[in-house]
Amino acid sequence: MLTRPPMATAGDTSDRGDGSESALPRAFGRYLLMERLSQGGMGELFVARHGLSGFEKLVVIKKVLPDLVADEGFIRRFIDEAQVAVVLQHANIAQVFEVGRVGQEYFLAMEYVEGRDLRRTLDALHASGERMPTDAALYVAREVATGLSYAHRRTDSAGEPLKLVHCDVSPPNVMMSFEGETKVIDFGIASSVLRSGYSGEGGTDGESQGKGFGKYGYMAPEQIIKGRAIDHRTDLYALGVILFEMLTGERLYTPASQPDFRELARKVARGEHALPSDIDASLAEFDDLVRRALEPDPADRYQSAAEFRDALQHALVSLSPTYTQDQLGGYLRGVFAEEAARQRRVRDELEHTDIGEWAPELRTASPSTVSFALASLPEWVAAAESGRREDHATRIVDPASGPPAGRGSWALLGGVVGAAIAVLAVVLWSLVSGG
């Protein structure tokens, strides 16, 4: 069981960036942060539990980094686009449960996926001199394409296309669970960061957003060349790069210690890149899959994620018609045997920790939570939440409006209304009685 640390308050960031977990668990709004996972180019990640008693589901809290929070334009885009991400509910997209703010810290509450991202998986395979099995590579690419197809075709309540584009489909943003699920993460925040021009350092693999080689290595020509239009086919280019990397075990554009970004941009714009058969002749049958996805002109690529998915499905069936997520999960558990076992133990410990011990801090921290968007909750959770309104439960606000009115303002308004009703009653009584 977890031991109780010294009392921490909502918004306490004493453990940010130093890798220390001495201040955990601690309250963060209505969530209890339990374990620090990592810090990447866009935010700091924690495993957390919902503060609602009986709601045992683990979530991942992604706290947006201070450098990004300081950019008001980014925050506006982040809130707008993350609200759209909340409505994306698909097996191949990691669910965003909440978009909100605790104090001055903005956050996403996301689905907890027990597994590893594709970047870490490919790096582990490369270090051991292996590469991903071809059928596994095709399967993962197909699942990503399926998730993108769903997101790209989403419409609003009026039936108008939302025109969603992820803008950062890359190995760190593809999660694979130890049960074989494949999920795209960071819908919403990725495109917000990209358009803000933020160039902070990336995650543990050294990739960065905006200026770093890793992200440029997955960008389509229209993302690199100023003035080009970005649409859903931009994501398909990135998926083509990922497919090449999974099939060959090599990066499409080999990073250097001091990469020449101008030269890289020229190569991408001209379509100068290797094909799978250039790395391994036995992969020649997949050259066309990669070639078409990486066409410099979007009009020459697959025109939809569904079209790319169907091509991947045809290739997978031809190679291994019975491949399923069961095989992928078994493969990943083999690659990360020790880590998978440890993660299961940690998950069990976190899920069975009695959070009642932190109830006072959670009650104190809850009023500091402002929610801009919430995913649909199960009925029993929604009912329990409504019963906590008198305990200063999370405030839900329209991001376009000002700060929510405080309890004192409502009390004043209630007093004025009450007085008006009393005066009206006296007047009516007087009229009826002839007075």
Same domain, 124 and 103: no
Residue 119: inside a domain, yes or no?
yes
Query: By the 8 A CB rule, do 26 and 33 touch?
Result: yes
Q: Which residues contact 25 (CB under 8 A, 6 or more apart)?
A: 2, 4, 5, 32, 33, 34, 353, 355, 358
Instruction: Point out the residues that are catalytic.
Output: 168
Mean pLDDT calculated for residue range 119-140? 97
Specify whether 215 is located in the same domain as 329: yes
**Residue 55 Ramachandran class (φ > 0 left, ψ -120 to 50 alpha, else beta):** beta
What is the DSSP code (8-state) at residue 27?
E
pLDDT single digits (tens) 310-366: 999 999 999 999 999 999 999 999 999 999 998 888 888 887 777 777 888 887 877
Classify residue 346: in a domain, yes or no.
no
Instruction: Identify whether residues 73 and 153 lie together within a single domain.
Output: no
Are residues 392 and 330 located together in one domain of the fold?
no
pLDDT confidence tier of residue 117, bands split at 50, 70 and 90: very high
**Residue ranges of the alpha helices (H) in 200-286?**
213-216, 221-224, 232-248, 261-270, 276-279
Same domain, 393 and 414: no
Question: Is 349 a domain residue?
Answer: no
Instruction: Give pLDDT, residue 12.
Output: 38
* The pLDDT of residue 278: 97
State the pLDDT at residue 84: 79
pLDDT at residue 375 in the model: 76
* More confident position, 119 or 387: 119
In this structure, are 295 and 385 located in the same domain? no
Do 142 and 99 fall within a single domain? no
| Domain shared by 148 and 62, yes or no | no
Find, among 115, 113, 112, the residue nearest to 59 by Cα.
Answer: 112
Residue 133: the pLDDT is 98
The string over 74-108, giving b where at least 16 C-beta atoms fall within 10 Å of a residue's C-beta and e elsewhere, is: bbebbbbbbbbbbebebebbbbbbbbbbbbebbbb
* Percentage of the chain exceeding pLDDT 70: 72
Report the share of the chain in percent with pLDDT over 90: 40
Q: Which domain holds residue 174?
A: 115-341
In a domain, 263, yes or no: yes
- Between CA 215 and CA 8 the distance in angstroms is 36
- 336 domain-assigned: yes
In a domain, 371, yes or no: yes
Measured from the Cβ of residue 51, the count of other Cβ atoms closer than 10 Å reads: 24
* Residues 332, 393 within the same domain: no
- CATH number of the domain at 36, please: 3.30.200.20
Same domain, 171 and 271: yes
Question: In which band, very low, low, confident or very high, does the pLDDT at 369 lie, cut at 50, 70 and 90?
Answer: confident
Q: Is residue 64 in some structural domain? A: yes
Element (H, E) at 302: none
- Strand spans (E) along 68-213: 96-102, 105-111, 115-117, 174-177, 182-184
**pLDDT tens track for 383-434:** 544 544 433 344 555 554 443 443 344 444 444 445 555 545 554 455 545 5
Distance CA 261, CA 55 (A): 48
Residue 8: its pLDDT value, please?
35
Give residue for tokens 């790069």: 241
Our count of domains for the chain comes to 3
| Residue at a domain's end among 287, 308, 341 | 341
User: What are the beta bridge partners of residue 93?
Assistant: 90, 184
Q: Give dist(CA 230, CA 167) in Å, integer.
A: 8
Residue 343 contacts by C-beta under 8 Å, 6 or more apart in sequence? 114, 178
Distance CA 85, CA 187 (A): 6
Instruction: Confirm whether 347 is domain-assigned.
Output: no
pLDDT above 80: residue 205: no
What's the whole-number mean pLDDT along residues 104-132?
A: 94
Evaluate if residue 435 carries a pLDDT over 50: no
Mark whether 136 and 72 lie in a shared domain: no
What CATH number is associated with residue 275? 1.10.510.10
How high is the pLDDT of residue 360? Answer: 82
Residue pair 222/232 in contact (Cβ under 8 Å)? The answer is no
Q: Kindly state whether residues 380 and 431 are assigned to the same domain.
A: no
